[in-house]
Amino acid sequence: METSACVTYSFRANYKNKGKKRVFVPLGNEIVSEFIGLCKQKKVKLCVTKTVKDEAFDNLLKIVNRYFDRAKIFAPPVRQNIYLKIRKRLKELIKYTGNLDVTSNIKEIEKFYKRSAHLKKLVALKQKKSRKSLMPSSKDMKILSEAVELNKTSTVCVISGDGDFLDFKVEIKKEFDLIVVDIMDLRRFAKNLL
Amino acid sequence: MLSEKIPKRGWIPLYVLLVLGKIPTATKLQKLVFLIQTEGRVDGGYLFHKKHYGPYSEDLDVDVNAFSNSLHLMETQLVEGLSHQYYLYKPTNLGKETTNEILKTIPEDVKKRVDNIIGKYGEKNYQELLEYVYENYVINETTFDQLYLELSDDLFSLESIWKEWYKDDCPSTLFVLAMIDYQSKVLAKLRSIEEPVFRGVCVSSISELTAKLITLTSNCKSSKECPLSFKPLFYEVSDQINFLSNYCCKQGIIGDFFDVDFSDFLGEGELERLEKELAKTSPAELIY
């Protein structure tokens, strides 16, 4: 599971409004939750690397804040409540998946992205993500290199919602024989796989 | 085991009796237990209401009767005083043994806080304690209105400073802002609470927490460091908000700080906006 899949799964929080129980469910959460449930049931191994775990924890609060900022709501006690619940859910996920410390070679991933054929897609991603660099973050490249490394000993599918992986899924498959699955395609993927 | 028959809260009067050896008057026992719970921030204790002699707990009265008459953990003697009769409480040997047994289950930090309170107030007589408790914890409406304005001003200033310092990846600044907002909400809710003891305990807790937050703010301001760099103070603040939250929750003033009812902090329209935002955006789209 890549960072975006981990945070999409974790972003679910029960809360009370006027004493009634309700639940926050962002787009994609049901799909990832369902998939993880199915994997648990069918004993399909889910794996999270240490890099993914660290990136997921580092980003949780930022994401909560972005939702609230977009909705133009401050309410710190509510932000904090949602953040704590999501963090707990992420901890539970990592407890289940473990977090592998993988030694990998990031250089080959850098080379892969630097290919001139990939320039157009990278420019589009740079604009979409409003980032300074043309290249994906070093953490994302490290995550991909870890998946490539793990794929050498067993078949690995990367579950992601990140354009840096999804927009290159055909090229990644061709170059590294590694399957990248879009979070939103997980239902179809699960049908074929399980 | 006898200790298992004693209600959880029962260790407080038994322990204060064990430390002091004897307690003259029911009023002193009531006030000491009240102060231990309030200033020592002990959760899960007795519920106090305003009565003729300040905060009073019927549950404590019931427990003391049971400890004296049925369980024989303490002796209650009726003493002829100069002007009136009063009760003198002493622990029995069985009471001492049982209290020591229960103490093994009490966390050290809680015991330490209780010891501080006993050290501070244990030697005072019932009249001194009564005056102190009345002055600080039985708050009439006029006094409350004045304290409300003062505390609201402090909280408003703190909020402005921390809003300026707020970083979207810093959980500790969010925690501070959440505490400030929560306290403001408690203060607002207290306006409709008629029980003066509830008001007194909350206002005293908010005053203490606000004072600590002011110290934390000035430490952060002068050192330009994260609030977490001041660990002991940060822990004290966390402890204090826990106490306030548990107390408010128990008295039905407002929900738990760590599980707030969103309607206390968000309007219907705001909640709708937030839910719409969640429904159309995947968290994955927001990690950049």
A57 vs A86: CA distance, rounded Å: 10
Give the pLDDT confidence score for residue B227 in this predicted structure: 86
- pTM (two decimals): 0.87
Residue partners of B275: CB distance under 8 A and separation at least 6:
A24
pLDDT per position as a tens digit, A130-187: 888 999 999 999 999 999 999 999 999 999 999 999 999 999 999 999 999 999 999 9
Give the pLDDT confidence score for residue B22 in this predicted structure: 96
As for the ipTM of the complex, it is: 0.87
B20 vs B6: CA distance, rounded Å: 20
Of B260, B261, B265, nearest to A18 by CB-CB distance is B261
Half-sphere exposure of A62 (CA within 13 A, CB side): 12
Give the pLDDT confidence score for residue A173 in this predicted structure: 96
The pLDDT-based confidence of B226 (bands split at 50, 70, 90) is confident
What is the rounded average pLDDT of the residues B159-165? 95
CA distance A148 to chain B (A): 21
Q: Is the pLDDT of residue B168 over 90?
A: no
Of B181, B258, B284, nearest to A161 by CB-CB distance is B284
pLDDT per position as a tens digit, B172-225: 999 999 999 999 999 999 999 888 999 999 999 999 999 999 999 999 988 888
Q: Is the pLDDT of residue B288 over 70?
A: no
Q: Which residue does chain A place closest to B280, by CA atoms?
A: A27
Half-sphere exposure of B194 (CA within 13 A, CB side): 0
Contacts of A3 in chain B (CB under 8 A): 287
B25 touches B85 (CB < 8 A): no
A73/B270 Cβ within 8 A: yes
Residue ranges of domains in chain B: 2-137, 141-286
pLDDT per position as a tens digit, B80-123: 888 889 999 999 999 999 999 999 999 999 999 999 999 999 99
pLDDT per position as a tens digit, B242-277: 999 999 999 999 999 999 999 999 999 999 999 999
B273/A73 Cβ within 8 A: yes
B279/A77 Cβ within 8 A: no
pLDDT per position as a tens digit, B49-92: 888 777 999 999 999 999 999 999 999 999 988 888 999 999 99
Of A5, A25, A65, nearest to B168 by CB-CB distance is A65
pLDDT per position as a tens digit, A85-131: 999 999 999 999 999 999 999 999 999 999 888 889 999 999 888 88
A16/B255 Cβ within 8 A: yes
Contacts of B273 in chain A (CB under 8 A): 71-73
B67 vs B76: CA distance, rounded Å: 9
- For B23-48, the DSSP string reads EESHHHHHHHHHHHHHHTT--S----
User: What is the CATH number assigned to the segment(s) B2-137?
Assistant: 1.10.10
What is the rounded average pLDDT of the residues A52-64? 95
Q: Which residue does chain A place closest to B184, by CA atoms?
A: A77
B279/A183 Cβ within 8 A: no
The H or E element containing residue A14 is strand A13-17
Q: Which residue does chain A place closest to B185, by CA atoms?
A: A77
Q: Is the pLDDT of residue A51 over 80?
A: yes
Q: Which residue does chain A place closest to B182, by CA atoms?
A: A77
Task: Among A61, A68, A81, A83, pick the best mutation site for testing chain B contact (most B Cβ within 10 A).
Answer: A81
pLDDT per position as a tens digit, B9-36: 999 999 999 999 999 999 999 999 999 9
A72/B181 Cβ within 8 A: no
Q: Which amino acid is at B153?
A: D
Give the pLDDT confidence score for residue B52 in this predicted structure: 79
How are beta strands B85-91 and B23-24 bridged, if at all? antiparallel
Contacts of A68 in chain B (CB under 8 A): 274
